[in-house]
Structure 1
Amino acid sequence: MSGDRRIGEYSFREHLELIRTRPGMYGLDGSYGNYVTYLCGYDEGARGSALLGFREWLLLRLGRQSSLVWPSLITEQALPGVAQAFGHRNLDEQQNQVAVEALFQFLGDFLRDRDTERDGLRSIFRDYALRFAE
């Protein structure tokens, strides 16, 4: 568990798996919007450390700059053209499922990139700065 950051009793990675598999235990309904709200609150409680670098990582994956926040970057990539017009609050059941799957896939990939290397987070910020330098 070399780079996995612990916040409280569980690592963030372990916590993600718990809310993904048992959302009701955390007062969640399993919707993308509900997960986003929960994760934003979790990140605030962790003083911004849980999702530090996630938006930058998503922008590197997207390959272009954007003013969107991370939840919108996920729906933009998972549901091109759909989520931009209506936002994540108006997703139908199938679109919601796609967005939730993308959320946990992207978070897992991000945590792998951030935590597996000693300087994973530093690498994300360096690559972001190099890619989007003005």
Structure 2
Amino acid sequence: MKQLSEMSEREYFAWVGQRPGTFVGRTSFHSLAAFLTGYDQHAIRHGGPGLAGWREWLVARRGKDCNHTWPGLVLHIALPGGWDNMWDLSTDDEQHAITILFQLLDEFAADQEASKGAHGPG
């Protein structure tokens, strides 16, 4: 297995998605959103891209803007029929939202990689 420092963003997100409880304890959509927000802030602080463009990518993916931050947009995509209380999702909705979160992260990271390849480094 690669060292963490050798992983691409896409590989890292896949690795976290395979074992989310290792990173957040009790696995929930909101604890993973908090983890990813911390990841983003750390990357920005240390000169990395973090999740730059993630919210805009989700808006384009959903095809409609709203005033939600990115976790709300992911929930809109994962649960298009809505939910009663976003802080108390049913077990099935929670698991589905987590699955969709990591699928979307994979697609986003793939798009970022393809964009970098098309435009060269930097």
Bin the TM-score by the shorter chain.
0.7 to 0.9
Count of residue correspondences: 113
More moved, 9-18 vs 41-50:
9-18
Aligned match of 1:113: 111
> Residue deviations 1:3-27, cap 9 Å, x none?
xxxx845332222122211223324
Secondary structure at the aligned position of 1:118 is classed as: helix
TM-score by length of 2: 0.80
Deviations 1:70-118 (A, max 9, x none): 00001011112433x422x211110001100110111111111121133
Aligned residue number for residue 38 of structure 1: 35
Tell me how far apart the structure 2 counterparts of residues 31 and 22 of structure 1 sit (CA, whole Å): 12
Asked if 1:53 corresponds to 2:53, the answer is yes
Provide the C-alpha distance between the structure 2 equivalents of 1:37 and 1:99, rounded to a whole number of angstroms. Answer: 14
Q: Which amino acid aligns with 2:73?
A: L
State the SS of the aligned residue for 1:37. Answer: helix
Q: Give 1:119 deviation, angstroms.
A: 6.9
TM-score, normalised on structure 1?
0.73
Amino acid at match of 1:86: N
Asked whether the equivalents of residues 113 and 120 of structure 1 are also in contact (C-alpha less than 8 Å), the reply is no
Structure 2 SS opposite 1:50? coil
What SS class does the counterpart of residue 86 from structure 1 fall into?
coil
More displaced stretch, 60-69 vs 34-43? 60-69
**Residues 17 and 78 of structure 1: CA distance in aligned 2, closer, same or farther (over 3 Å):** same
Name the % identity.
34
1:69 matched residue in structure 2: 69
Question: CA separation in 2, counterparts of 1:82 and 1:33?
Answer: 16
Instruction: Report the AA paired with residue 32 of structure 2.
Output: Y
SS of aligned partner of 1:90? coil
Give ranges in structure 1 of 5+ residues lacking alignment.
1-6, 122-134
